[in-house]
Amino acid sequence: MLTLNYKSFGQGPALLILHGLFGSLDNWASLAKQFGEEFSVYLIDQRNHGRSPHTDEWNYGLMAEDLHDFMDQHGIMQAHLLGHSMGGKTVMTFAGEYPERIDKLIVADMGIRQYPPHHEEVLKAIAAVPLDTLVSRQQAEEIISAHLDDQGVIQFLLKSLGRDEEKRFRWKFNFEVISQHYQEVLAPLSMPFPFEGPTLFLTGVNSHYVRPEDHDSILMWFPQARFEAIADAGHWLHADQPEAFQMSVASFLEE
């Protein structure tokens, strides 16, 4: 049983939030403080990310089990779950295994289908950073920028560049295991039976992760799902339009 790193905010019904690939709980700190006005918010680093344990095994089944163990460890019998991207697949997998532990489910810009590889340039950029000889964050940014031209992605990755106890630069995510098991992230949803509880699939209008033609297959596994798209937002909809995202989630949870 792993002990996952987390931060908590506020008081009220439990709301657990899971980040996406290469992210960490820190990506959600601002929104968590807002949600904390009504909920007991738990931001969680998934395994092989942030300050949670790094392990050789890594897949959605294990991450759903980690979440179940986390709830048991903290005496949370039932909670609202919110997962973005990879975290969305984790909470959906959890919903198939432990539906009785969920009050309401929010999936942020993630579907249930198999996804084609689409992080090749990001993986190359991360691999190109020579951690053992790296002298500054600026040097890392220059190296990553040679592979990527999206400043949002570049700054997102740099947030996960830290130092170890010997002051050497290290990624906060387990790049070796993630790159070896990358296909696990792209895998289609696997559930033993549908989740019958209230579910919100919240997407960005400018994102293609959840398409209108995906809705019917999603409804087979989440028959009470509703779909809502946020204008002027892409895959990182919570960062692109934080106010609209917060209002949509709060409205759904307060019904």
Task: Name the 3-class secondary structure at 17.
Answer: strand
What whole-number distance in Å separates Cα of residue 101 and Cα of residue 67? 11
Rg (CA), the chain: 18
The whole-angstrom separation of Cα 195 and Cα 27 is 28
Residues 160, 235, 238, 248: which is the catalytic one?
235
Q: Which tokens is 22 given?
A: 């290469």
Instruction: Reply yes or no on whether 235 is catalytic.
Output: yes
Beta strands 225-230 and 6-9, pairing class: unpaired
Distance, CA of 136 to CA of 56 (rounded, Å): 29
Annotated catalytic residue within 85, 160, 207, 248: 85
Our answer to whether residue 54 is catalytic in this structure is: no
Return the structure tokens found at 248: 């949509």
What residues act catalytically? 85, 235
